[in-house]
Amino acid sequence: MADLLTAPPVPTGNYAYFFDLDGTLAGIKPHPDDVVIPDAVLENLHQLSLMNAGALALISGRSMAELDVLASPYHFPLAGVHGAERRDIHDQLHIVSLPDALISALHAHLSSALDALPGTELEAKGMAFALHYRQAPHHEAAIVALARSLADAHPELALQPGKCVVEIKPEGINKGAAIGAFMAEEPFKGRTPVFFGDDLTDEAGFRVVNQAGGIAVKIGPGDTAAKWRLGSVAGVWQWIDNVANQQQQQIAQHNGRNHYGSLSRRL
């Protein structure tokens, strides 16, 4: 879908909410450690989760440990490393792993290769590796070729391109599969999914949400499978604030009607 700039609706009803982090809930920074989610945004996410029986999860290429730090003091269901690790509403962990020997061999090979490409950075995630070249975009072709050669040599691996990064991860792992796993479980089951993301890594999630008749929202420009778009991270913050406030008002009105009804019956 082309550069559609139609803002998503503010949903009312039985929805489940999924949010990417970098470029969606927080602006992209030169280094991942510089990223912060504002306190007001975290509070709104917490309120949205409470008002929807906990049916809100963060879906990211980051590890779950990083997501917990960024979401602190709140504790949400998570899918980290594009779904290779996942924590459900009951704190049960679902982890996809690679053989230790393969992980060690990949780490050694990638460390050596990236040392020869100044400005690039290797991020080891346990069962996956991110090859960053944001600070050295002229090395993009070399990074892509390196990652492709390893994936071609190991059929249990797959590539996931992103913004100035290529990730090497277990085959069959993506954000769409992670959203599908959540949607098969309570409290997400039976709800309509809503997913916000900004990158190529989010497109699999958009497709799953579209198939479920949900609301898929692309942040920023670029072709996408999403049917809705917001122009910036600030737009996401405002949308979350609008939904949280609207649902709070609906709950207050509902409680008020119930109080009036019970008072009338007593009279």
Q: Which of 3, 20, 115, 198 is catalytic?
A: 20
What phi, psi does 47 have (nearest 5°)?
Answer: -65, -40
User: What amino acid occupies position 119?
Assistant: G
Domains of the chain: 15-95+174-257 (3.40.50.1000), 100-170 (3.30.70.1020)
254 Cβ neighbours under 8 A, 6+ residues apart = none
In this structure, which amino acid lies at residue 257? R
Question: 74-125 pLDDT, tens per residue?
Answer: 999 999 999 999 999 999 999 998 999 999 999 999 999 999 999 999 999 8
The tens digit of pLDDT for each residue in 199-214 reads: 999 999 999 999 999 9
**Active site includes 34?**
no
pLDDT at 163: 85
b vs e for 75-109, b when ≥16 Cβ sit within 10 Å of the residue's Cβ?
A: ebbbbbbbbbbbbbbeeeeeebebeeeebeebeee
Res 234 pLDDT > 90? yes
The answer to whether the beta carbons of residues 127 and 96 sit under 8 Å apart is: yes
